[in-house]
Amino acid sequence: MAGPRSVGQDCEAEKGARRVDIRLIRFKEDGESRDFRVTNDRCLIGRQATCDLPIPLSSVSREHCEIFARDGAVYMKDLGSRNGTFRNEERVEGEVQLEPGDRVAIGPIIFTVQIDGDPAEVEPPLMEAPTLTTAKPQSSSGSASAKGGGDDSASELSDLIKQMQSEDSSVFDLDMYLDEDDDES
């Protein structure tokens, strides 16, 4: 496993709050893993180069989601992204608490969440990145709910997502967006 890269936005830690070690682990097609360390209490993920962790793909919104620590726990919040943010194949609506080993999908990129070194060993995900048509919505309480209705726009959106996924199918290396100087062990 290559060394971790640090990403995050400067935020003041709450006095007396325990610092949580958050790492997002991604596997490349060749099986090599990359470990992205969230160094502060908030990490903005999106397509914009100014994001803490930029993913420059058309299926990723400019400011897609954020991962943050609060009161010793780790949370993820979708920021109104067009194609959704997914936790364990369920679409995140609002804010959800992340647990060690959770799989987070942002566009076609899948990360495994490691919190305070747990899980100690991370295996490549066996799942493909979910899409709006394959995932179940997940509310802030963490329960899945079904959406009803036969909306024509949903079909159009599904077609658009499939088109974007085919455009984003090339191999993509997030390392080029992180400074070599941020390498910490």
Higher model confidence: residue 176 or residue 97? 97
Strands 95-98 and 90-92: unpaired
User: Are 76 and 85 within 8 A, CB to CB?
Assistant: yes
pLDDT band at 149 (very low <50, low <70, confident <90, very high): very low
pLDDT in tens, 10-20: 444 444 567 89
In whole angstroms, what is the distance from residue 160 CA to residue 144 CA? 24
Whether the per-residue pLDDT at 38 is higher than 70: the answer is yes
Find, among 4, 15, 80, 81, the residue nearest to 37 by Cα: 4
Q: Tell me if residue 140 falls in helix, strand or coil.
A: coil
User: Are 46 and 55 within 8 A, CB to CB?
Assistant: yes
CB proximity list for 167: less than 8 A, separation 6 or greater: 58, 59
Whether the per-residue pLDDT at 22 is higher than 70: the answer is yes
Length of the chain: 185
DSSP assignments along 82-122, one per residue: SS-EEETTEEE-SEEEE-TT-EEEETTEEEEEEETTBSSS-
In terms of C-beta density within 10 A (0-12 exposed, 13-18 middle, 19 or more buried), how is residue 185 classed?
exposed
